[in-house]
A and B are shown apart, each in its own frame.
Chain A
Amino acid sequence: MTTQVDLANAIEQPEAFMSSTLAFPPRNYLNDGYGVKSWLLTRDHKRIALLYLAAITFFFFLGGAFAVVIRLELATPVGDLVSDDTYNKLFTMHGVMMVFFFLIPSIPATLGNFLVPIMIGAKDLAFPKLNLASWYIYVLGGLFTLYALIAGGVDTGWTFYTPFSTVSSTTNVIPTAFGIFITGFSSILTGLNFIVTIHRMRAPGMTWLRMPLFLWSMYATSMIFVLGTPVLAITMLLVAAERLFHFGFFDPRLGGDPVLFQHLFWFYSHPAVYIMVLPAMGVVSELVAAGCRKPVFGYSFVAFASVAIGVLSFLVWGHHLFVAGQSVYSALIFSAFSFMVAIPSAVKVFNWTATMYRGSIQWDTPMLYAVGFVGLFTMGGLTGLFLAAVGLDVHVTDTYFIIAHFHYIMVGGAVLGYLGGLHFWWPKISGRLYNEFLGKISAGIIFLGFNLTFFPQFILGYLGMPRRYHAYPPEFQALNVLSSAGASILGVGYLIPMLYLMWSLRYGRIAGDNPWGAVGLEWTTTSPPPTENFQHTPVVTSGAYEYQVARMQ
């Protein structure tokens, strides 16, 4: 059996694959064992992906609920809905949940876990037990953080700046720090698993330059996981140690340096931004190729841009410290590196756009999310240039301009990429089709709600409204009301996919192997795939996205 024959059929007769007479594959990973034990002790990367999906969805809606209260509070200039301490805890827990327990694991642990072995034609990841262990580690870290929340919350901001976090705050800093410390190991193990799997387990013929671009982005992300996360773990330990035992790492009264913390924290946390957005870039490459049914323009440039971003991401952390008292010359060096990291990002955007030229573009939900990503990531990236320019960053840093900028990257970029990927591979994961009409509507609602929420914040930031303010001067109210209105629309936009995706699990039409008529090894196996992914080990004879080749055969 060669995979291309099936693909050609899929393209010639997509209606056959859409029909409701298709049968659900009798043997697949979902019915290979029932009961709680078959899930909690599974070593199947696909089931582990679903365990992660359930866990991160929980944290996403929890973190989102905090955002709702924050935006409600900010609808009026005075702090009248919650107390100042409560407000400080809300934005802290929003940041902690979203960054460490949703965004960082989001695409790698769910779509990555599900797809990496299938896309390279393997039966599983290199270390299946380690993969399950990483989920348990993630859950353990999550429980620590939930304990911190229930015990009264934490108010340091997700950035834990010292000496506030080590000396001044009276909240649950240590359980939260341990939660993040523990969860970091699940990232490291996932990264390690992906790197080994991609190096060692590619199917015959799957050379590096034939790999789907999603795998390149997973590879670059894994490198950051493995190299960056230990620094965060150490930093969190130092915070806990100074808090518990008054070691003088960061508190100047004990001989420490408060800015040292910021260097350590951002040495991980800036690369972490690329942990969030690189996987989304990989997803978008897949979505654009399938939506246009043609190869991604400049494949090797897009692939190596991922690696370049991964490397450069470690050289830009100091741009978080332009006003924190670092020397003028180090500020200039970090500014220069920050501009450099913009180039590979721009290369990707131009290549995705060029891919659409002379494509055969189907405007399904995944493609809507993909172009939504391209537009919002472009805006997020371009406003990043404002922040890399040192003389301008001085004015806008620590204001709502920053909030707007990084939400364009993390929500407009990472979350839209995640949702687009979830829709694109949902038929493969579940074996069923979701409601395409509701899909398009909710993609539109999310796009509009997002822009209404965060665009006014750029203006607020340039006007000078500082971030993390519970109350603010009255002249900022109108723009804040717009933002809060947008947030309510955005919230509805998130709930709709949650509902119709759940609904489709039971009532959706049978998807068939290849509902999109796309190429790629994952579309050659059944939906849902069998536990071992493929009946026979596939042999790869051409690069990714070869629609012309598939058509010929």
Chain B
Amino acid sequence: MWSGTPLFPETASTIASRVDALYCFLLAVAVFFTLLIAGLVVVYGIRFRRRSPNGIGTTIRGGAVLEVTWIVIPSLITAVIFVWGASVFFAMSRPPNETLNIYVVGKQWMWKFQHLDGQREINEVHVPLGRVVKLIMTSEDVIHDVFVPAFRVKADVLPGRYTHIWFQATKAGRYHLFCAEYCGTRHSGMIGQVIVMEPAAYQAWLGAGSGEGSLASEGQKLFTDLTCSSCHRPDAQGRGPVLVGLFGKTVTLQNGETVSVDEAYIRESILQPSAKVVAGYQPIMPTFQGTVTEEQLLELVEYVKSLKSSTATPVDDPGRSRERH
């Protein structure tokens, strides 16, 4: 039973070793203080044991120097841990600029992955070794959580919102992906695998294709089918804002506030169009709540992202879309 029982998890991402370093420092702090307290309790317990039934202890009311010492030293140690933990967290929260984006939709009780090239996977996701991969995640029902222990990354997957994690795998192999937020009956069955492949093998896997178009081209079809294109025209003559080159920009709303156009804003504008209307336009767009699924939303988002200002036609080139996020 003990064979194959690890005591330390696999280390397979760039951030993992930084998390482990902090963990080891904290282990050292914890072991030191536990042994200090336990040692003192045992030594005092033997040395100052009651020797006669009438014995009483020596009255010592306290000592200001000692009190200050054991307030100041723990404060300094915790300040160091705070800064260290915060710096690791900053690194986790901010992906490098160049990311390979993969969309994730969680539902009771499965994971759906959508690659920009159009590959779709269930409970399994293939990623290339050494590339920075960013997961853009949402849920169709309740809160889930993507957790890859070997990468030391985890984030809740929320209904109605997009959350992100990123990682850069350093070792090829298959790694557990767990749902870490309790989500009902088959929560412990909502597990999968991250398959890290050598770049060449990954290209071969991509080349095997899915038979479907890229995410952006699927989004373009929807854009036409849902007649979005009749108002959001590329020539600024439509009743809705021009979407070309919009992603990543900052727009001004009717009330004077500004909002930067990211995945969440596009999603919200499809589902609740009147929530944040761009200045100069009327709140006349109908809601698509209940009409489009989370996966279709992601296709539409990806289509809008693909509309570059250099060209008025949709860019059906997932390679370019991957360059920026």
Chain A positions within 8 Å of B79 at CB level: 339
Nearest to A83 among chain B residues (CB) is B185
> With the chains together, A393 CA to B86 CA distance in Å?
11
A228 to B: closest C-beta gap in Å: 24
| A298 close to B67 (CB less than 8 A) | yes
B1-40 with Cβ < 8 A to chain A = 1-2, 4-9, 18-19, 22-23, 26, 29-30, 33-34, 37-38, 40
> With the chains together, A471 CA to B185 CA distance in Å?
12
A407 to B: closest C-beta gap in Å: 16
A259 to B: closest C-beta gap in Å: 7
| Cβ contacts B46-74/A at 8 Å (1 or 0 each) | 00111101111111111100110011001
| A14 close to B81 (CB less than 8 A) | no
From B19, B49, B143, B189, A391 is in contact (CB under 8 Å) with B19
| B147 close to A347 (CB less than 8 A) | no
| Cβ contacts B69-90/A at 8 Å (1 or 0 each) | 0110011001101101111111
A343 to B: closest C-beta gap in Å: 6
Instruction: Report, as a range, how many residues of chain A touch the other chain.
Output: 35 or more
Chain A positions within 8 Å of B8 at CB level: 462-463
Q: Is B93 an interface residue (CB 8 A)?
A: yes
Q: Which residues of chain A have a CB within 8 Å of any CB of chain B? A: 11-12, 14-15, 79, 84-85, 88, 155, 157, 161, 163-164, 167-169, 251-253, 258-259, 292-295, 297-301, 322-325, 328, 331-332, 335-336, 339-340, 342-343, 346-347, 349-351, 353-354, 356-363, 371, 374-375, 378-379, 382-383, 385-386, 388-395, 397-399, 459, 462-464, 466-475, 477-479, 481, 517, 546-548, 551
| B188 close to A398 (CB less than 8 A) | no
Given contacts A323-B145, A468-B187, contact A346 B48 (CB under 8 A): no
| A301 close to B53 (CB less than 8 A) | no
From B88, B147, B161, B178, A392 is in contact (CB under 8 Å) with B88
Could you jot down 8 A-B contacts, CB within 8 Å?
A: A163-B143, A258-B142, A293-B57, A294-B60, A389-B85, A398-B154, A464-B149, A468-B188
Given contacts A359-B44, A398-B145, contact A463 B9 (CB under 8 A): yes
Nearest to B69 among chain A residues (CB) is A350
| B178 close to A464 (CB less than 8 A) | yes
From A164, A351, A382, A469, B29 is in contact (CB under 8 Å) with A382
From A11, A253, A385, B78 is in contact (CB under 8 Å) with A385
| Cβ contacts B128-151/A at 8 Å (1 or 0 each) | 000000000000011101010110
Nearest to A359 among chain B residues (CB) is B57
Q: Is B122 an interface residue (CB 8 A)?
A: no
> With the chains together, A6 CA to B70 CA distance in Å?
37
Q: Is B299 an interface residue (CB 8 A)?
A: no
Given contacts A258-B143, A299-B62, contact A551 B48 (CB under 8 A): no
Nearest to B84 among chain A residues (CB) is A389
| B179 close to A466 (CB less than 8 A) | yes
> With the chains together, A371 CA to B66 CA distance in Å?
21
Nearest to B27 among chain A residues (CB) is A386
| A259 close to B55 (CB less than 8 A) | no
Nearest to A292 among chain B residues (CB) is B57
Secondary structure at the B interface, as helix, strand, loop or mixed, is mixed
| B81 close to A399 (CB less than 8 A) | no
> With the chains together, A349 CA to B159 CA distance in Å?
43
> With the chains together, A343 CA to B76 CA distance in Å?
10
| B48 close to A11 (CB less than 8 A) | no
Chain A positions within 8 Å of B5 at CB level: 475, 477-479
B76 to A: closest C-beta gap in Å: 11
Please give the number of chain B residues whose Cβ is less than 8 angstroms from any Cβ of chain A in the complex: 90
| A298 close to B45 (CB less than 8 A) | no
| B70 close to A346 (CB less than 8 A) | yes
Chain B positions within 8 Å of A339 at CB level: 78-79, 81-82
| B86 close to A12 (CB less than 8 A) | no
Nearest to A344 among chain B residues (CB) is B71
Given contacts A292-B57, A385-B30, contact A342 B45 (CB under 8 A): no
B184 to A: closest C-beta gap in Å: 6
Chain B positions within 8 Å of A388 at CB level: 78, 81-82, 85
Q: Is B156 an interface residue (CB 8 A)?
A: yes
> With the chains together, A477 CA to B29 CA distance in Å?
29
Given A161-B182, A391-B84: 16 more A-B contacts, CB < 8 Å:
A11-B56, A84-B187, A85-B185, A88-B185, A163-B159, A168-B183, A253-B289, A323-B156, A325-B158, A356-B40, A375-B34, A386-B30, A390-B85, A391-B18, A395-B153, A475-B4
B286 to A: closest C-beta gap in Å: 17
Q: Is B41 an interface residue (CB 8 A)?
A: yes
Q: Is B92 an interface residue (CB 8 A)?
A: yes
| A347 close to B70 (CB less than 8 A) | yes
B216 to A: closest C-beta gap in Å: 26
From B54, B70, B178, B182, A157 is in contact (CB under 8 Å) with B182
| B159 close to A164 (CB less than 8 A) | no
Chain A positions within 8 Å of B180 at CB level: 397-399, 466-467
| B188 close to A360 (CB less than 8 A) | no
> With the chains together, A88 CA to B153 CA distance in Å?
25
Nearest to B146 among chain A residues (CB) is A323
| A332 close to B86 (CB less than 8 A) | yes
> With the chains together, A358 CA to B179 CA distance in Å?
53
From B1, B176, B188, A477 is in contact (CB under 8 Å) with B1
| B50 close to A362 (CB less than 8 A) | yes
Chain A positions within 8 Å of B34 at CB level: 375, 378-379, 382
B85-104 with Cβ < 8 A to chain A = 85-93
| A168 close to B67 (CB less than 8 A) | no
| A391 close to B184 (CB less than 8 A) | no
The residue in A14, A359, A466 that gathers the most chain B C-beta atoms within 10 A of its C-beta is A466
> With the chains together, A157 CA to B18 CA distance in Å?
32
Chain B positions within 8 Å of A517 at CB level: 53-54
Q: Is B170 an interface residue (CB 8 A)?
A: no
| B48 close to A359 (CB less than 8 A) | yes
From B89, B150, B160, B181, A394 is in contact (CB under 8 Å) with B89
Chain A positions within 8 Å of B89 at CB level: 322, 328, 331-332, 390-391, 394
Chain A positions within 8 Å of B90 at CB level: 328
| B60 close to A297 (CB less than 8 A) | yes
Chain B positions within 8 Å of A478 at CB level: 1-2, 5
Q: Is B108 an interface residue (CB 8 A)?
A: yes
A379 to B: closest C-beta gap in Å: 6
Q: Is B163 an interface residue (CB 8 A)?
A: yes
From B55, B81, B142, A167 is in contact (CB under 8 Å) with B142
| A464 close to B176 (CB less than 8 A) | yes
| B82 close to A161 (CB less than 8 A) | no
Given contacts A293-B57, A299-B61, contact A164 B182 (CB under 8 A): yes
> With the chains together, A399 CA to B179 CA distance in Å?
11
